[in-house]
Structure 1
Amino acid sequence: MEGLPTSLADYGPAALSAVVVAAYLVAGEPVVGAVLHRRFEGRLRTDAGARRSFYLRLLILEWGLALLALVIWLSAPDVDAAAVGIAWPDGWPGPVAGGLALLVVVFVVGSTRALRGGVLHDLPAPAADAAAGRHAELPVHATLALLPRTRSERRLFTVVGLTAGICEEWLYRGFFLAVVAAVAGDLPDVVLVFLAAVAFGLAHVYQGIGGVVTTGVLGAVMATLYLDTASLLLPVLLHALIDLRFLAVPSRALPSAGAR
């Protein structure tokens, strides 16, 4: 994408802060996410409000990081809004990016239909872990535990889904790729897409290997759309749609997961 920073000097006095936050997204966020999720799993068994509490923590963390990155960008004298994707698309997506966007929409529709049909009830139950005195959760079960069950949880999850679309695209596509381009110089788009995929996949390490691969592929798709259109608008909309599709799934179609 034309317009990305070509030197860390473009960030002026904010250069060090930009690098630190970008490094945190790659190395720190996977650790923080795993710790928060493990604590959430422990509380979920005894605390009926654990899911809402976890949603609030996610909101604080994501908006806090997003605002920090925004302040750093505003402090960068030679990095304009277009360089971080805060602009209208400069045209329709090309054939590759357009095809990927269509695949995302097909995935959302197909997966929503499958979820509404109760496909999650066919998953194997968590295996007993006698040594730990609890059930050994598979990564897929740990992820499903995050999905809302009650009306109040669904309202808060709507905010979480919108936040993920806005904040994560800003952080992992707009801000992160601008910092990478400034540090490494003029990189080919395919390298930027790969780096965005790795960073985003690692952020979801709590979901297990399957989750890292799936979200990594999603990160690559969103990065491709961003670099092709020079705007975060389409990635934000599609990302939010992917997360918010769970609101179309009735609670009865989800495995029970909560305080016992």
Structure 2
Amino acid sequence: MHISPDFSTLGLALSVPLLGYVLAEGLVGKRSYDRMLRRRDTDPKALTRMFRLWVACAWVSAAAALAVLAVSPGAAASDLGLRLPADPSTTLGMIAGAALAVTLIAFATRFRKDVPAQPALTGMHPRTPAERGWALAMAVTAGVCEEIVYRGLLIALGVGVLGLGPKTAAALALALFVAGHAYQGWRGMLLVAVAGYSLTYLYLSSGSLVLPIAVHVLIDVMAMVVLPAVATRRTAPAAG
């Protein structure tokens, strides 16, 4: 992948608070997650309130990334991966394959009693229709916004501002991406690193965020909506 973004002074100024948010996201996320856990059993809106906050912050950060691009005439949308892949048919096939894999994994877990649980994600499993709706919104939001910010803008800033190669800039962006999930603990961060590396590879190999966004959304929908629903049905007492 080759990109050569040239950010304007205004664009760089706008990126400063966004980078500050990225650096603080792990701490902010952990504090809000811990607060939600403490209150969830006594406050029925604790989870949806946290999801609303996270969704709002994610879309604001994505909007800020797009604003940096908008005020930088020397940076093209393609420098942030905002373009269609060179071979759309192959990309659509890969998205279909990922969707099938997600469905098969979710279906297979329906018949197992020993599905390993990631503690931090278990704490966010929705219990009510409202919580499921916000969990779905959070999954889609994370897939879109995190790719724009972490894979799109941060790699472009690494290349255009720090003079790094795309792979080195991607490695730095991946480290920040993992740090942003500190609320999941070391085990969760390890899984995030594996997923993030795969998403980074998809971006660097295609030069487009279309496939990483689609796969990211599928992963999060499975983890936050599909598998919790499967687990709930599996453990629910049989009627009669």
Which range, TM-score by smaller chain? Answer: 0.7 to 0.9
Q: Which amino acid aligns with 1:75?
A: V
Match of 1:68 in 2: 64
How many residues are aligned here? 232
Contact 1:85 1:174 survives alignment (8 Å) = yes
Where in structure 2 are there 5+ consecutive unaligned residues?
Answer: 236-240
- Report deviation, 1:20: 4.3
Deviations 1:193-237 (A, max 9, x none): 322321111111111111111111211111111121111100110
Contact 2:59 2:141 in 1 (8 A): yes
Contact 2:11 2:68 in 1 (8 A): yes
Please state whether the residue corresponding to 2:8 is helix, strand or coil.
helix
Aligned counterparts of 1:72 and 1:200: Cα–Cα separation in 2: 19
Paired position in structure 2 for 1:184? 162
Alpha-carbon spacing, 1:122–1:28, altered in 2? closer, same or farther (3 Å): closer
Corresponding letter in the other structure for 2:110: R
* TM-score normalised per structure 1: 0.77
Taking structure 1 as reference, are residues 184 and 153 closer, same or farther at Cα in structure 2, changes over 3 Å only?
A: same
Q: Kindly provide the CA deviation profile for residues 121-177 of structure 1, in whole angstroms up to 9, marking residues without a partner as x.
A: 776xxxxxxxxxxxxxxxx32321112122222222222111111111101101111
TM-fit CA distance, 1:107: 6.2
**Distance verdict in 2 for CA 1:12–1:103, change over 3 Å:** same
Q: Tell me, yes or no, if the aligned pair for 2:11 and 2:67 is still in contact at 8 Å.
A: no
Q: C-alpha distance in 2, partners of 1:93/1:176?
A: 28
Secondary structure at the aligned position of 2:161 is classed as: helix
Q: 1:228-243 alignment to 2 at 5 Å?
A: 228-243=205-220
Q: Quick one: distance in 2 between partners of 1:207 and 1:163?
A: 18
Q: What is the aligned partner in structure 2 of residue 2 from structure 1?
A: 2
- 1:187 alignment partner AA: G
AA paired with 2:9? G
Identical-pair percentage: 28
- 1:116 pairs, out of 110, 113, 117, with 110
1:171 and 2:165 equivalent?
no
| Residue 171 (structure 2) pairs with residue 194 (structure 1) | yes
Structure 1 unaligned runs (5+)?
124-139
Q: Does 1:219 align with 2:219?
A: no
